[in-house]
Chain A
Amino acid sequence: MLSDDRTRHLLRSAVSGLTVSTPPAEELVRRGRQSRRRSRAATVLGAAAAVGVVAVGSVLVSDLAQAPVGPTATPTTMPIATKPSTRDGLVTPPGTRLVGMGPVAVAVPESWGTNNVRCGTPLADTVVFEGTGTRTCLVPPRDVSSVHFGRIGTWEPRSWEQNATTTIDLGEVEITRSDIGPYDEGPGEPPYDFAVGVVTVPGHDVAMWVVSTNQELIRRILDSVRDIPAGYVAVPAPSAPDRTPSFEENAGLDVRQVTVYRAGLSPGVVLSSDPPFGSIVPEGSSVTRTVSGPGEPLSGPAGPLARNLHAFAVAPGPETLRAIPFGDRVGLGLGGEVVKMLTPSQLEEPSAWVIHRDHFAGYSGPFSALDRLRRDPELWSITEGKQLFCPWARTAALPGYEQDRRLTLEPSGITTCLQWWAVDIYLDERDRIDAISLILAEP
């Protein structure tokens, strides 16, 4: 066994005779100053020129966009880019964009969306800032990958805690990175074959995790972790559905807040951001944040109509029906299809509302809009021309009723799209009900 002294001697003698070039001190100072100037100049660059193109050090991430999906997929070709320049420190990763939270960012394929989820489950490749918990609310497609950002200990999968972690110094910030391991949301969850890799930034309470069946993609995204260059910030996202990013988290951005009415949502919930959550922008950039505000009364007859419809649903009968202004004939629809036409008197009988279909949107029939209204009578949200929840399930207007006003009643106390339904009410020019249609969200 080598002694300490002997080892020292061997190592030193191994390299002592090597000729080393003269230290390029002046050149290092010049480039060091350039690096500083770049950081400062970055604050005045236009956002379009700056988003996601500057990195400390250079990382070849262009192949992220083409990374294969699936556990058995093996990269057959990998772009051989020009040698990364460790001198310039600047790189424009083709086909990717930077997304981040707090002091760190990763490169993801440019085609990935933001918060492209239903019920918390990514249904297309996406970056997720929505702190809505479980990823497996719905059955996740196997070929979908996602990068999630949140606070440490809140939503990241439990399984990563069993994986070994490494501490990495990014210069301005220290991170921990886990080995890639099986994705597991805990006992009781079905056995998915997704893998996960987690990065945390303990000093900033930031967690980022990548979920995919493609471990190579996970590794590449984890490899692209870097600190956000000086002069840039990540557009802050809410770390929980009911949490507005704090003033401190605005991180030197010029935040303009737009308040919109969202029935069923508490005021102050951040709905969206432009640029999107996680974008890397120069400090001082303008960001428009859309936040839910207090409810606004609907104009016209919508309020009384909804109240009267509510009264009829709870206690169907001639008295309550009379208060509802129906047209001469009322179309009864399911999704985007008119199934039958009824007279107002026929509507008095709840059984007339029933549409006998074996299946619709993944649910078993029969179906009745009145039953839905009766089941959740206190939970409606009423909007006109839009849908508050599960917007992907919105259908086109019923054929023949495109010119009508379209009111949408939805339960506002739901937490998943599996619980969601909507009843669309079509009003003619005299504010009489022309048609009623039940909509459900297909899982």
Chain B
Amino acid sequence: MDPDADPDADYVTYVHMRWGPLVRSAILLGCSRTEAEDIVQTTLIRCYTGWAKVQSAAVPDAYVYRILVNCLAKSRRRRWWGETPTERLPHRVVEDPAAAVTQRASVLAALGALTEQQRAVVMLRYYADLSERQVADVLGIPAGTVKSRLARGLEQLSQLLGDGDTDEVRRESSC
């Protein structure tokens, strides 16, 4: 082993390679860009302290996504605590995907209409390109549940992004 080698070189390389995709993944999970960067920073710091585990994981990306999803879940819980409760759930109206000017806005709005669980499996399967088995491991749910959530999620996305339903799309508060 080269004693002069930077012990953090692998980590730094990984950060440079995966920063963008991870931030975009968090955005697909419902975060604003600022929130997404915060979450990814937290995720990558945790990866640093357990870097050996990341490197030894069969699929390092899957391991990192697992941390990301957990950080996001924790963040959502924390923020909930910091909010002032109201009598009604704080639904937020999202723009009508059919009327959206750009395809990006339509897709993000349609994703926002999915449940958090559906959105997570769709993102992990089709953006992070994990297998159904890996998605199941990341989320800690059975593979069958991944399949069913994917099916329902895609069905809903099809409806929302197609020419049909243009009803108001609502989603719960983002991360």
Known: A11-B126, A24-B41, A171-B50. A80 touches B11 (CB 8 A): no
What is the 8 Å Cβ interface bit string for chain B, positions 75-107, against chain A (1 contact, 0 not)? 101110111110000000000000000011001
- CB-CB < 8 A to B127: which residues of A? 8, 11-12, 15
Our pick among B28, B48, B111, B141 for the contact of A29 (Cβ within 8 Å) is B48
- CB-CB < 8 A to A31: which residues of B? 45, 48
User: Do A7 and B104 touch across chains, with their CB atoms under 8 A apart?
Assistant: no
Q: Which B34-63 residues sit within 8 Å CB-CB of chain A?
A: 37-39, 41-42, 44-46, 48-50
What is the 8 Å Cβ interface bit string for chain A, positions 332-343, against chain B (1 contact, 0 not)? 000000000000
What CA separation (Å) do A438 and B111 show in the bound complex?
72
Cβ of B108 within 8 Å of any chain A Cβ, yes or no, is yes
Known: A23-B15, A169-B140. A35 touches B161 (CB 8 A): no
Q: Which A1-41 residues sit within 8 Å CB-CB of chain B?
A: 1-2, 4, 7-8, 10-18, 20-21, 23-26, 28-29, 31-33, 35-36, 39
Known: A35-B45, A63-B81. A2 touches B157 (CB 8 A): yes
Our pick among A1, A25, A61, A75 for the contact of B155 (Cβ within 8 Å) is A1
Cβ of A395 within 8 Å of any chain B Cβ, yes or no, is no
- CB-CB < 8 A to B19: which residues of A? 20, 23, 25
Instruction: List the B residue with the shortest CB-CB distance to A174.
Output: B140
- CB-CB < 8 A to A12: which residues of B? 127
Cβ of A48 within 8 Å of any chain B Cβ, yes or no, is no
User: Do B78 and A60 touch across chains, with their CB atoms under 8 A apart?
Assistant: yes
User: Do B78 and A20 touch across chains, with their CB atoms under 8 A apart?
Assistant: no
Our pick among A1, A15, A77, A167 for the contact of B158 (Cβ within 8 Å) is A1
Cβ of B133 within 8 Å of any chain A Cβ, yes or no, is no
What CA separation (Å) do A170 and B24 show in the bound complex?
23
Known: A11-B107, A11-B122, A28-B45. A86 touches B24 (CB 8 A): no
- CB-CB < 8 A to B83: which residues of A? 78, 80
Tell which of B12, B15, B126 has the most Cβ of chain A within 10 Å: B126
Cβ of B120 within 8 Å of any chain A Cβ, yes or no, is no
- CB-CB < 8 A to A352: which residues of B? none
User: Do B126 and A4 touch across chains, with their CB atoms under 8 A apart?
Assistant: yes
Report the minimal beta-carbon distance from B116 to chain A, rounded to whole angstroms.
12
Our pick among A2, A16, A86, A170 for the contact of B154 (Cβ within 8 Å) is A2
- CB-CB < 8 A to A171: which residues of B? 46, 50, 67, 70
User: Do A36 and B140 touch across chains, with their CB atoms under 8 A apart?
Assistant: no
Our pick among A18, A29, A58, A86 for the contact of B8 (Cβ within 8 Å) is A29
What CA separation (Å) do A172 and B126 show in the bound complex?
28
- CB-CB < 8 A to B108: which residues of A? 14
What CA separation (Å) do A12 and B70 show in the bound complex?
23
Instruction: List the A residue with the shortest CB-CB distance to B63.
Output: A169
Report the minimal beta-carbon distance from B32 to chain A, rounded to whole angstroms.
11
What CA separation (Å) do A63 and B11 show in the bound complex?
38
What CA separation (Å) do A13 and B108 show in the bound complex?
11
User: Do B70 and A29 touch across chains, with their CB atoms under 8 A apart?
Assistant: no
User: Do A11 and B123 touch across chains, with their CB atoms under 8 A apart?
Assistant: yes
What CA separation (Å) do A167 and B45 show in the bound complex?
22
User: Do B104 and A17 touch across chains, with their CB atoms under 8 A apart?
Assistant: yes
User: Do A25 and B16 touch across chains, with their CB atoms under 8 A apart?
Assistant: yes
User: Do A10 and B107 touch across chains, with their CB atoms under 8 A apart?
Assistant: yes
User: Do B85 and A74 touch across chains, with their CB atoms under 8 A apart?
Assistant: yes
Cβ of B23 within 8 Å of any chain A Cβ, yes or no, is yes
Report the minimal beta-carbon distance from B143 to chain A, rounded to whole angstroms.
13
Count A-side interface residues using an 8 Å CB cutoff. 55
User: Do B161 and A2 touch across chains, with their CB atoms under 8 A apart?
Assistant: yes
Cβ of B66 within 8 Å of any chain A Cβ, yes or no, is yes
User: Do A36 and B49 touch across chains, with their CB atoms under 8 A apart?
Assistant: yes
- CB-CB < 8 A to B103: which residues of A? 10, 13-14
Known: A23-B16, A60-B78, A171-B67. A78 touches B85 (CB 8 A): yes
- CB-CB < 8 A to B129: which residues of A? 8
Cβ of A105 within 8 Å of any chain B Cβ, yes or no, is no
User: Do B126 and A7 touch across chains, with their CB atoms under 8 A apart?
Assistant: yes
Report the minimal beta-carbon distance from B77 to chain A, rounded to whole angstroms.
5
What CA separation (Å) do A237 and B5 show in the bound complex?
46
- CB-CB < 8 A to A25: which residues of B? 11-12, 15-16, 19
Our pick among B41, B104, B122 for the contact of A15 (Cβ within 8 Å) is B104
User: Do A86 and B82 touch across chains, with their CB atoms under 8 A apart?
Assistant: no
Report the minimal beta-carbon distance from B35 to chain A, rounded to whole angstroms.
10
User: Do B107 and A8 touch across chains, with their CB atoms under 8 A apart?
Assistant: no
Report the minimal beta-carbon distance from B27 to chain A, rounded to whole angstroms.
6
User: Do A223 and B48 touch across chains, with their CB atoms under 8 A apart?
Assistant: no
Report the minimal beta-carbon distance from A218 to chain B, rounded to whole angstroms.
14
User: Do B81 and A220 touch across chains, with their CB atoms under 8 A apart?
Assistant: yes
Cβ of B144 within 8 Å of any chain A Cβ, yes or no, is no
What is the 8 Å Cβ interface bit string for chain B, positions 10-30, against chain A (1 contact, 0 not)? 011001100110011001100
What CA separation (Å) do A174 and B139 show in the bound complex?
12
What CA separation (Å) do A80 and B79 show in the bound complex?
10
Given contacts A14-B107, A18-B27, A86-B38, 4 further A-B contacts (CB under 8 A): A8-B126, A14-B28, A21-B23, A32-B48
Interface residues of A (CB under 8 A from B): 1-2, 4, 7-8, 10-18, 20-21, 23-26, 28-29, 31-33, 35-36, 39, 57-61, 63, 74-75, 77-78, 80-81, 83-84, 86-87, 89, 166-172, 174, 220, 223
Q: What are 6 A-to-B residue pairs whose CB atoms are below 8 Å?
A: A2-B158, A7-B122, A15-B127, A18-B24, A32-B44, A86-B41
Closest 3 CB pairs of A and B: A32-B48, A167-B140, A23-B19
